Amino acid sequence: MDKEDQLKLDNQICFPLYSVSRLITKAYKPFLEKMGITYPQYLVLMVLWEHGNLSVNQIGEKLLLNTNTLSPLIKRMAKIDLLNRTRSTEDERSVRVELTEKGKDLKNLASEVPQKLLNRLLSEEVELTDVMLLKNTLDKWITDLTHKSEIKT
């Protein structure tokens, strides 16, 4: 593959990754809308369901997000009564995030989501082929990388 080809859209790992990521997020949307939440909010809930109360920072570590994204996000979630924010007493810098009953209850609704998503994708040919395309690009890309790193060592 020459430099010209490498500049083509499908040959750069980033584009399939970027578009499939958006596609899958969109596939989640109808289910999340029923729960009244967005996709990043769903991620925060999943972390809290799994690990219990955490600080803003700890949530960020799990999701690879900084506070400049998380702070407003968590505040919006507090506004719709999914969680409470309280300053820690031992460390006044730290904000403890705690699920409300409403936040905890959503887990029941959410537990159906992964299955429903799979079923939905099975009936949507387009999305599935895009996912397969990503898989192929990713595989090729990883083969490339491994090959290169072997040469280096």
Q: How far is the CB of 102 from a second copy (least distance, A)?
A: 17
- Taking CB under 8 A as the rule, does residue 109 contact a second copy? no
Binder to a second copy among 35, 43, 78, 133 (CB under 8 A)?
43
Q: Which of residues 74-93 bind a second copy (CB under 8 A)?
A: none
- Taking CB under 8 A as the rule, does residue 121 contact a second copy? yes
Q: Which is nearer to DNA, 29 or 102 (CB)?
A: 29
Say which residue the tokens 């090959």 belong to.
147
Q: Among 88, 91, 107, which Cα is nearest to 99's?
A: 107
Q: How far is the CB of 1 from DNA (least distance, A)?
A: 25
Q: Which is nearer to a second copy, 89 or 153 (CB)?
A: 153
Residue ranges of E strands in the chain: 54-55, 83-87, 95-99
- Taking CB under 8 A as the rule, does residue 14 contact a second copy? yes
Strands 83-87 and 54-55: unpaired
Provide, for the chain, the percentages of residues in helix, strand and coil under a 3-state DSSP scheme, each rounded to the nearest 5: 75, 10, 20
List b or e across 95-128, with b for residues whose CB sees 16 or more CB atoms inside 10 angstroms: bbbebeeebeebeeebeebeeeeeeebeeeeebe
Binding site for a second copy (CB under 8 A): 3-4, 6-9, 11-15, 17-25, 28, 39, 43, 46-47, 49-50, 62-64, 107, 110-112, 114-115, 118, 121-122, 128, 131-132, 134-135, 138-139, 142, 144-145, 148-149, 152
